[in-house]
Structure 1
């Protein structure tokens, strides 16, 4: 990876950007199908809460339908916690990884979902990587938006059989990745302190090499796209967001926005902004420390309304591209 790579332009994820980059919004007469169907794949016997947090966030971000696929040992618990969701029980290994039988169970869903989030609460990285690589071709063929979080990002460290040794793994179609600095160090071998101090070059290089929209999380979160587009969100030092489950919520918000039809980079930037603003609201009302990750999602619907994140169905949204220009979605700069 080239550490000298630079963005052509840096866009601030602020109120002005969000105002000129409205999210897709369903017709008033539309039904839940038009709001998108999201599948959340994750959880384990020790971490069933992660998939619940992510799935709740996807619905709070406006997705219309939800399916959760999780381990058989916790499926009933998840179903009780998420009455809005269909829950699919998957066979587990002793390591808490899912059997590859999950591919056959989930294959019929590929034509009916708009986004899939894989990773929250999953364990056994090599096993999870095999499952990710087995699922991606089907999701790619169906044009499903893919968000990889937590353990599922380990697919980069465990490429499929036949991948050239020493060559960085590259996704066939872009996906969203949501690492924090520690996870980025794990994925790349770079020093965590260096990543925290200088995140931009590595984020840009990895986004390009991996063919991914990469949200490198931190007090200053950066979002890099494969084409060199680059965004940054300067946090207000809200340490309250640094809490267990917070990342699961962010990944769920992004997946929910993808399901609604937002392009990957737009869903990621909006997800980062909504997550941060929700934390700010909770800090103002409850105090900087002590609010819970499960409470972040509760702020999202009102923030979506008040931020003006909507455009009439069928209207074209706009997105910043390198050089400070603007283009309709799908236009290659």
Structure 2
């Protein structure tokens, strides 16, 4: 089995992002549907949504709990925010599923999980989504990852291409392995996840690994310990979703997303300090790192 290729600016020349003409409009840069946020974690949807726009998505639509929809609309005025009912557990209610599927059919990519709460309604949403005939890139992060272990077969059949963005503890739950086993060989875990779920699988950490369904693998040496901060993963999920909305294939979106996130972290480490910068400070640096 070949060693993973180093993810750096040189490698990214082999994975160009879609270019957008100067006379293009926002529809040409795609719509991202972000399903996330809850009364307990409203900021996760803000971080992911802003990051998607900074990555160049033309339109952002957020489906979130009705109780926080107005606040999210103010926090991210560029987005269309759709409020839906919540269950008693604080999860999006099953009554929201039809609304989410309707908006997903109009989107070019979808990010699911940032700030959501665990519960049967989330499982029902995933079952309905994976059984649908929607064919767009699907970025799965955070809470959504905890519901996937028993849904490997339908996820393999997802025709738009899916992306998993776990850290080591989430990967352990995803694969139903001991955390120490994942930590001992994160690349092997990413390979197992990619094969089992038919997805581009990432395992985030000081050194991140990316594995594509065709077996290609990559390593990123990390953007510094400062990126190990609350909300950083939501920003990454938003960047990847935004790039996918622009038309990047799942592997290209992930490679660029991991690199942009890491390079922004390196920049902040130099400008602010090795630790102590905030997740909200990552996304504003992304446009200057994107190719012209």
Counterpart pick for 2:252 among 251, 255, 266: 266
Q: Is the 8 A contact 2:29 2:56 kept in 1?
A: yes
Q: CA deviation at 1:170?
A: 4.2
* Structure 2 residue matching 1:74: 3-state secondary structure: helix
TM-score normalized by the length of structure 1: 0.83
Structure with more contact order per residue of length (Cα contacts < 8 Å, sep ≥ 6): 1
- Supply the distance in 2 between the matched residues of 1:197 and 1:269 (Cα, whole angstroms): 23
Counterpart pick for 2:226 among 220, 230, 240: 240
- Supply the distance in 1 between the matched residues of 2:47 and 2:237 (Cα, whole angstroms): 9
Q: Is the 8 A contact 2:33 2:104 kept in 1?
A: no
Counterpart pick for 1:90 among 70, 80, 84: 84
The structure with the largest alpha-carbon Rg is 1
- What are the residue-to-residue correspondences of 1:12-91 with 2, within 5 Å? 12-91=6-85
Choose 193-202 or 240-249, whichever is displaced more.
193-202
Q: CA deviation at 1:102?
A: 1.4
* Structure 1 residue matching 2:81: 3-state secondary structure: strand
Find the counterpart in structure 2 of residue 171 from structure 1. Answer: 156
Which runs of no fewer than 5 residues in structure 1 stay unpaired? 1-5, 160-166, 311-333
Q: CA deviation at 1:158?
A: 4.5
Counterpart pick for 1:295 among 274, 277, 281: 281
Find the counterpart in structure 2 of residue 114 from structure 1. Answer: 108
Structure with the higher fraction of residues in helix conformation: 2
Which runs of no fewer than 5 residues in structure 2 stay unpaired? none
Give RMSD over aligned pairs: 1.6
Q: CA deviation at 1:157?
A: 3.0
- Supply the distance in 2 between the matched residues of 1:218 and 1:33 (Cα, whole angstroms): 34
- Supply the distance in 2 between the matched residues of 1:168 and 1:37 (Cα, whole angstroms): 27
Counterpart pick for 1:136 among 130, 147, 166: 130
- Supply the distance in 2 between the matched residues of 1:190 and 1:114 (Cα, whole angstroms): 34
Counterpart pick for 1:208 among 163, 170, 195: 195
